[in-house]
Amino acid sequence: MNFTVGFKPLLGDAHSMDNLEKQLICPICLEMFSKPVVILPCQHNLCRKCANDVFQASNPLWQSRGSATVSSGGRFRCPSCRHEVVLDRHGVYGLQRNLLVENIIDIYKQESSRPLHSKAEQHLMCEEHEEEKINIYCLSCEVPTCSLCKVFGAHKDCEVAPLPTIYKRQKRQELPLPRLEGSGTNMTYCSLDLLDSSDPSILASQNTNITGSELSDGIAMLVAGNDRVQAVITQMEEVCQTIEDNSRRQKQLLNQRFESLCAVLEERKGELLQALAREQEEKLLRVRGLIRQYGDHLEASSKLVESAIQSMEEPQMALYLQQAKELINKVGAMSKVELAGRPEPGYESMEQFTVSVEHVAEMLRTIDFQPGASGEEEDEEVALDGDEGTAGPEEERPDGP
């Protein structure tokens, strides 16, 4: 049936609150956890102060926080399961806080401090009969209802029981409840002494109602489940950190590989440039030597021509005849001088120093990750590739003239 909510649902009675409080007790100080609450790797919780006391007792030589001496950490055992907890140099301050438990403690304290009379004064009103309070429980439909609904409403043919009795039984698992029998104005309660506990309707109601202890146990299970979820979150955060560290390492290795490859290329480029420079120098020296030789011959021939012209202008016949014979011999000798050969056609070409890098570039484009290869194998592959890249162009380099 439909009904109007006129109050906030209660968190639970004193029994439920006690069960919840038992889940919030520190195993060391035997008091409710005091913030900050830390969670151990074994998923048990401790007050940070209590955890620090146990840690200091197990590691008397460990320097306290703020000390000038840098400590290397320590270890202690969980007081609940005896699991060994290893801490770094931060000690218990390096443990993660359990904010979920701290929030539950705050909510528990707020509910515990709330006045009970203010909760009891609020009522649940029937939606069909707005002036009637919800005061009975329909066992057939398993819903709260009002007296008018039982008298001439939707539940006049149903079996009902007092609402407080149902409430107490759900909270404290009491005996089967009395029923309200009859219809109309002749509505009477069954006696507990005459109640047959084997009545199917009563047994069905017992099986379907949630007890207070089940609620507290459910809260405890939820808290334990949340602890496990938080542990999974912590593990996944550690996985994220490991992924970042591994990625950073692989990036450094990748940069080193390519820097080594670039160094091999730069070294080989320098060697080829030196070979090209040597060939250039050799050819230039040869051609410049021929230029000097031809220049010297041209200069001597020009001087001889000038001397011959001056001799032909000599007016004295005896002197002319004397010089003419000598000049004729020199001209004949000069004309018979054989000069060094000229550079062969195409001597100036340097196309033999062309390097084909298309296949090397194509091979470089095929570089890819090899998940199955270790770092040492990758180093060896890079070294072998560098040696092959050095030997190939050397074989293609032509010999100088």
Of the CA atoms within 13 Å of residue 346, those in its CB half-sphere come to 3
Q: How far apart are the first and last CA of the chain?
A: 110
Domain annotation covers residue 37: yes
Domain boundary among 319, 338, 357: 338
Alpha-carbon 327 to chain mean position: 99
Domain edge (last residue) among 338, 372, 390:
338
Residue 32 has pLDDT above 60, yes or no: yes
What local confidence, expressed as pLDDT, does residue 204 receive?
41
Collapsing DSSP states into helix, strand and coil, what is residue 393?
Answer: helix
Task: Kindly state whether residue 343 falls inside one of the protein's structural domains.
Answer: no
8 Å CB contact between 26 and 54: no
Residue where the block lists tokens 């979150």: 233
Q: Single out the residue in 292, 312, 338 at which a domain terminates.
A: 338
Domain that holds residue 78: 15-60+73-112
pLDDT of residue 373: 60
pLDDT of residue 152 exceeding 90, the answer is no
**Mean of all residue pLDDT scores within the chain:** 75
- The answer to which of 161-165, 241-245, 298-302 has the lowest mean pLDDT is 161-165
Q: In what order do the strands lie in the sheet with 45-47?
A: 45-47, 37-39, 96-97
pLDDT digits (tens, 9 = 90+) for 378-401: 555 545 555 555 444 444 444 443
Q: What does the pLDDT look like over 131-145, one tens digit per residue?
A: 788 888 888 888 888
> What's the confidence (pLDDT) of residue 124?
77
Q: What is the CATH number of the domain that holds 36?
A: 3.30.40.10
More confident residue, 74 or 9: 74
- The tens digit of pLDDT for each residue in 179-188 reads 444 444 344 4
Res. 347: pLDDT tops 60: yes
Query: Quick check: is 365 in a domain?
Result: no
- What confidence tier does 264 reach under pLDDT thresholds 50, 70, 90? very high
Tens of pLDDT along 103-130?
888 888 888 776 554 444 456 788 777 7
pLDDT at residue 342, rounded to an integer: 82
Number of domains in the chain: 2
In a domain, 260, yes or no: yes
Distance, in Å, from the CA atom of 153 to the CA atom of 135, rounded to the nearest integer, reads 14
pLDDT at 207 over 80: no
Q: Report the pLDDT value the prediction gives residue 197, as an integer from 0 to 100.
A: 43
pLDDT in tens, 50-103: 888 888 888 777 665 555 454 567 888 888 898 888 888 888 888 888 888 888
Type of residue found at 101: V
pLDDT at position 180, please? 44
Token couple for 291: 């230029």
- Report the distance separating Cα 238 and Cα 200, nearest Å: 55
Three-state SS at 37: strand
> Residue 252: which pLDDT band, with cuts at 50, 70 and 90?
very high
Q: Collect all residues with Cβ–Cβ distance below 8 Å to 270 and sequence separation of at least 6.
A: none
What percent of the chain lies above the pLDDT cut of 90? 16
The answer to whether residue 283 scores a pLDDT higher than 80 is yes
> According to the model, what pLDDT value does residue 173 have?
52
Contacts within 8 Å (CB) and 24+ apart, 161-167: 161/136, 161/137, 162/135, 162/136, 162/137, 162/189, 163/134, 163/135, 163/136, 163/137, 166/137, 166/209
The predicted pLDDT at position 400 comes to 42
Q: In this predicted structure, which of 8-17, 101-110, 351-360 has the lowest mean pLDDT?
A: 8-17
Residue 21 is encoded by which pair of tokens?
């409080």
> Could you tell me if residue 126 is inside a domain?
no
For residue 347, which of 294, 287, 292 has the smallest C-alpha distance?
287
pLDDT, position 12? 47
| Strands of 24-150, DSSP E | 37-39, 45-47, 74-77, 84-87, 96-97, 125-126, 136-138, 143-145
pLDDT score, position 284:
93
When pLDDT is averaged across residues 256-270 and rounded to a whole number, the result is 94
Q: Is residue 290 part of a domain?
A: yes
User: 100 in a domain, yes or no?
Assistant: yes
Q: Which residue has the tokens 């007016």?
A: 315
Tell which wins on pLDDT, 113 or 297. Answer: 297
Q: pTM here?
A: 0.39
d(CA 254, CA 259): 8
At residue 259, the pLDDT reads: 95
Residue 63 pLDDT: 61
203 falls within a domain: no
Average pLDDT over residues 281-304: 89
pLDDT of residue 9 exceeding 50: no
DSSP string, 366-381: T----TT--HHHHHHH
Distances (CA, A) of 320 to 241, 302, 307: 109, 20, 12
